[in-house]
Structure 1
Amino acid sequence: MSIEIRYLYHSGFSLETARHFLIFDYYLDTPKGCGLSKGVIDPEEIREKNVVVFSSHSHPDHYSPRVFSWRKTVKQIRYVVADEIRPPEDAVKIAPGQTVDLGDLTVHALESTDLGVAFLVRVDGLNLYHAGDLNWWHWDGEPEEDNEEMGRRFREQIDTLRGEKIDVAFLPVDPRQKENALLGLSYFMKTVGARAVVPMHSFGDTEFYDSLKTDPALKPWLNNILFYRSRGEILTID
């Protein structure tokens, strides 16, 4: 089954499967008048698709309430959002540890190490994982006990996925973490693994990902990583 992934910016991606068009953590709705080829959702382009929109939390680099305006155009559209977001009444709210069954797909939520949730989505025979802000956030200059607690909380959540067969994992690899940027990805791959990994949370600094291609910490999984440069770029998995 072919999977088409499109980079929408930062942690925002669309993913098209056999019967669904999924959108994760979309917020950057400019430049106006562009469209998917430039990483902007134009509801006219997706009006005939079976759309499910996911918002992992309310931080403005992961969520925009404008996504709910798409309902005016798209015939089949549903929303799954973290329970701390205040969405319209017809959106499905999900809390950490909860699983919801939408009939044609199921969604399980993990607790973020920042705000909101991460999503494990089972759809069309695929297991998809979008981390939101669930990451091993290790910051230089922070108290060591805080960094250690962050690592513990992260590992505790990822350990709940042991034994899952993940087809695509969207994982934070934040350039601001510098030498610690691969902590979360490395632990995820050692503990769970994924057929394909899409790094995210770059604030547009995708050149940082290119620099990681020679990082020894990434070498064991280099062939699993899907690299990209430009907003609107398509990644395909056969």
Structure 2
Amino acid sequence: MKVYYIYHSGFAVETDNFKLIFDFYKTTNYNVGEFDLEKFLDGDKKIIVFSSHSHGDHFNPEILNWRRPDRNISYVLSDDINIKEKDENIHFIESNSSLELDVIKIKTFDSTDEGVSFYVECDNYTFFHCGDLNWWYWPDDTLEEIQYMKNYYTEIVDNIQRRVDKKIDFLFYPVDPRLEDNMFLGVTYFIENINVDKIIPMHFWNNFDVIKQLKEKIKGRKESVVYFDKNMSRIL
């Protein structure tokens, strides 16, 4: 099993039988490793492309241009994404829904921003890609905004706990440094309430140092943080 970090919240995963791409936004020439998107898209394995919501840093309509007659590719898009092209291989999904593609099991959950978050079972691995699901506690929030976000986020985590009965092998979670002292509030609450093995940080705007900070923050817990320091690179 291989995991590649593309950029921002974008990842590519290759298992024995499938290739998965989450929240592709763009490739970058800044601080890059060896990952080649075009090579990843080639081959015989079925490809499933996920987009959690319509924000420009999570969805790029360019992904629809990846379709070719020689590629077995499907899309799972949040239902807030509006595209003109529709076919049997493009699946729109709302929050708190389930979908099976081949042998891949998909469940969606709410987001504290737009769209959905994804839980995916594939080739005996489990993945949770949060999209923009996070405890967004901004430094200038009012007391009302703080309480609203706390209630909203904890309710979603409770729902995940009820509907996911397996350990999450790989948790892709936003650790946004713009939240300052609160940037790890969401991820620590998540792992305190849901069984997770590895945490893969994302949405950190090229500030790779936050990964080291998260490793230090949860030092001594059973979960591990996957460290990486380049875009477009293999991280597992």
TM above 0.5, yes or no, is yes
Deviations 1:176-232 (A, max 9, x none): 1111111111111111021111011111111222233333xx224375110111012
Mapping for residues 1-238 of structure 1, pairs under 5 Å: 3-31=1-29, 37-38=34-35, 41-42=37-38, 44-48=39-43, 49-72=45-68, 75-87=71-83, 88-90=85-87, 91-162=90-161, 163-215=165-217, 218-221=218-221, 224-236=224-236
The letter of the residue matching 1:151 is K
Q: Is the 8 A contact 2:135 2:185 kept in 1?
A: yes
Compared with structure 1, are the counterparts of its residues 134 and 71 closer, same or farther at alpha carbon in structure 2 (3 Å cutoff)? same
1-structure distance, mates of 2:76, 2:178:
29
Instruction: Give aligned-pair identity as a percent.
Output: 33
Q: Is the 8 A contact 2:211 2:225 kept in 1?
A: no
1-structure distance, mates of 2:223, 2:114:
31
1-structure distance, mates of 2:13, 2:216:
28
Q: Is the 8 A contact 1:109 1:120 kept in 2?
A: yes
The letter of the residue matching 1:47 is D
Quote how far apart the aligned CAs of 1:83 are.
Answer: 0.3
Compared with structure 1, are the counterparts of its residues 73 and 66 closer, same or farther at alpha carbon in structure 2 (3 Å cutoff)? farther
2-structure distance, mates of 1:175, 1:74:
41
Deviations 1:156-195 (A, max 9, x none): 1111222431111101111111111111111111110211
Per the alignment, in what secondary structure is the counterpart of residue 120 of structure 1? strand
Gaps of 5+ in 1: none
1-structure distance, mates of 2:13, 2:33:
12
TM score, norm. by length of structure 2:
0.90
Q: Is the 8 A contact 1:47 1:73 kept in 2?
A: no
2-structure distance, mates of 1:98, 1:212:
31
Q: Is the 8 A contact 1:46 1:74 kept in 2?
A: no
Gaps of 5+ in 2: none
TM score, norm. by length of structure 1:
0.89
Quote how far apart the aligned CAs of 1:36 are.
Answer: 7.8
Q: Is the 8 A contact 2:3 2:14 kept in 1?
A: yes
1-structure distance, mates of 2:68, 2:102:
23
Compared with structure 1, are the counterparts of its residues 74 and 15 closer, same or farther at alpha carbon in structure 2 (3 Å cutoff)? farther
2-structure distance, mates of 1:73, 1:202:
36
